[in-house]
Structure 1
Amino acid sequence: MFRKFSLKGKMSLFISVIVLIMFAITTTLNILELSTQLKNDLKKELKSVGILTTNSIDREDIQYLTTNSSGSDEIFKKTQEKLDDIMEKQGVMSWSYIWKMNGDSVVPIAFTKNLDEIYKAGENFTDLADIHLKAATKAMETNQPVVTKIFDDPFGTWETVFTPIVDENNNPIAVLGVDYSADYINNIIQKSLIKEIVIAIIGIIVLIIVIYFSIRKLLKPLDKVISVANNVAEGNLSDSNLDLNRKDEIGVLSNSIQSMIDSLRNLIHNIKLTSEHLAASSEELSATASEGYHFSKKVSDELKDVVSSTNNTLLIMEESAQAMTESSDGIYKIAQSSSVVSEVSQETLQQAEEGNKAIKNVVDQMEKINNSVTHLSHAIKQLGVSSGEIGSIVNIITEIADQTNLLALNAAIEAARAGEHGRGFAVVAEEVRKLAEQSAQSAQQIHELINEIQKDSESSISVMEQGKEDVQYGIELTKEAGNSFEEILTSTRNVASQIQEVSAASEQVSATTEEVSASVEQLKEYTVTSADNLGNVSISSEEQAASIEEISRATHSLSEKAEELQQLVSSFKL
Structure 2
Amino acid sequence: MLKEVTMRATGKLSNRIVLMSFVMLVALLAFFIVTTIYTAKSSVNKTMGAQAVAVAENIAKHLNPEEYEQLSKDPRESKLYWQLREELNELREVNGVLYAYTFAVPQEDKKVRFLVDGMPADDEENAGVIGEESASTLYKDIEKVMDAGSYYSDILHSGFGDYLSGTVPLKDASGNIVAFIGVDIEANEVSGVANAVLTAILPALIIVILILTGIVMLIMYRYINRALKPLAKLGDAVTSFAQGDIAKASMEVEKIQLKGKNEISIFAQAFQEALQKLKETFQTIQQQTFTLQNVVKKIDETTQHVETSNAQIADRIVEIAAGSEQQQQNNQEVVLTMNEMSIGIQRLADTTSEIAESSSTMTGLVETSVNHSQEVVSQIQNVESSVLRTAKHVEEMGDRFGSIEEMVTIITSIADQTNLLALNAAIEAARAGEAGKGFAVVADEVRKLAELSKASADEIHTHLNSFKTITERALHEMSGSSIDVQAGNRAVQRIGESLEKILKSVVEVNNKIQDDSAVIEEMSAGSEEILATTEQMNDIAQHSVQGTKEVAMASDLQVTMVSELNEVVAMLDQTFKEVTKTINTFKL
Whether the TM-score (by the shorter chain) exceeds 0.5 is: no
TM-score by length of structure 2 reads 0.30
TM-score by length of structure 1 reads 0.31
Bigger Rg, which one: 2
